[in-house]
Structure 1
């Protein structure tokens, strides 16, 4: 199988979920004691969050490229950035390495289109919801129009992510507030829900809405498993 490179720690709460889901996926497909080949570069998230808040994206790009190159040197054959927000820098990171970067928005788009959703609600950090990098990619590459929450709802979701989920706190009252955001979006025509932050699957799931819910963490992890194991099914080349 191919070795999966995880650029994580943003936050480690969701990176731990990636590790678990990828290993479970390999075991489910191969059985027995099989597990994934993974290398992990985990950043110090306090530094990342401070630079995000300050808008110092150049320094963050340098940090991400350093981690991506380290993973490639360590033997990674593909790269996953284990956060939606930091895909703001995905193109810069991809251009600095020779291994493929599996873009989380592209993987989510496949799942969204598979159920004929075309106007899903985007939930995530304020960077992901407010800035165009995620929504523009979904529109320009996949023909999807993502619906944003209201400004107040965006502040609410962002706060839940950074003040609670990234710190390991999962609160029933926050789940109820997020469900209310989803219900309001449904009244405005949303036909799906993108959990566009890799921590949101700690709080929300398909059971929280009768709209299709797209868990980007699980979708991204599953794509890595499929790519890693694809080489096993290829026939061996024979000498002429």
Structure 2
């Protein structure tokens, strides 16, 4: 079994989901008392979000690259960033280490294409929805990504940063997000990406008719495939 390296803390709720699901996944696949080999380094989310707000992305990259090097030194065979938004600096992180980075957009693109879906909606943070770092990488794999009307961006961002990262899952927020997903369906999306780990706490396939692609779950399964191959 290979050792999975995790750079987390973005938020700690996200890291907890990755840690839990990796352990549950190994136990499901191998049975008994089996658990994954993991190395986890977490960063100060407040520091990163301050840098994000100031658009100091180079410094964000420095901090995450340093965490990734620590994970590598601790024996990880490959690396995951436990975040969607901060994949904006994934290239900078990947260049800082000698182990492979399992890029979330590549994993998600593969899952969509395997299901025959080439037009997908994306909900997430404002940065993830409005910056091209994620959608461009999806486009390079042949997928068209539809993002919500900008008038919804603040609501989605606040749902993530003001509620979900603190573990607050509210029905009224779920209803509003489902309405946004329905708009993406009307705009031509054949599936929807839950482009933030915390959104998987709020939205499941039972909530919407459009096929749901839970990015974190897909990332975890791809990591398990790699670690156990």
1:147 positional shift: 0.2
Q: Give the whole-Å Cα distance in 2 for the aligned partners of 1:161 and 1:189.
A: 25
1:136 positional shift: 0.5
Q: SS state of the match for residue 146, structure 1?
A: strand
Pairing 1:171–2:165 present: no
Q: Give the whole-Å Cα distance in 1 for the aligned partners of 2:204 and 2:68.
A: 30
Look up the match of 2:198.
199
Look up the match of 1:96.
96
Query: Mapping of 1:116-155 within 5 angstroms?
Result: 116-140=116-140, 142-155=141-154
Cα deviations across residues 27-63 of structure 1 (Å, max 9, x unaligned)?
1111100001101000111111111111011111110
1:189 positional shift: 1.1
1:151 positional shift: 0.8
Query: Mapping of 1:215-230 within 5 angstroms?
Result: 215-230=214-229
Look up the match of 2:12.
12
Q: Give the whole-Å Cα distance in 2 for the aligned partners of 1:147 and 1:178.
A: 15
Q: Give the whole-Å Cα distance in 1 for the aligned partners of 2:58 and 2:139.
A: 25
Q: SS state of the match for residue 170, structure 1?
A: coil
Cα deviations across residues 70-90 of structure 1 (Å, max 9, x unaligned)?
000000111000001111111
Q: Give the whole-Å Cα distance in 2 for the aligned partners of 1:70 and 1:128.
A: 26
Q: Give the whole-Å Cα distance in 2 for the aligned partners of 1:162 and 1:3.
A: 30
Look up the match of 1:233.
none
Q: Give the whole-Å Cα distance in 1 for the aligned partners of 2:74 and 2:177.
A: 39
Q: Give the whole-Å Cα distance in 1 for the aligned partners of 2:114 and 2:173.
A: 29
Q: SS state of the match for residue 52, structure 1?
A: helix
Look up the match of 1:235.
none
Q: SS state of the match for residue 119, structure 2?
A: coil
For these two proteins, the number of residue pairs brought into alignment is 229
TM-score by length of 1: 0.94
1:96 positional shift: 0.9
TM-score by length of 2: 0.98
Cα deviations across residues 112-144 of structure 1 (Å, max 9, x unaligned)?
11121111110011111000111111002x111
Query: Mapping of 1:68-79 within 5 angstroms?
Result: 68-79=68-79
Look up the match of 2:48.
48
Q: SS state of the match for residue 164, structure 1?
A: helix
Look up the match of 1:238.
none
Q: SS state of the match for residue 146, structure 2?
A: coil
Look up the match of 1:212.
211
1:65 positional shift: 0.6
Q: Give the whole-Å Cα distance in 2 for the aligned partners of 1:229 and 1:118.
A: 29
Look up the match of 1:236.
none
Look up the match of 1:109.
109
1:184 positional shift: 1.2
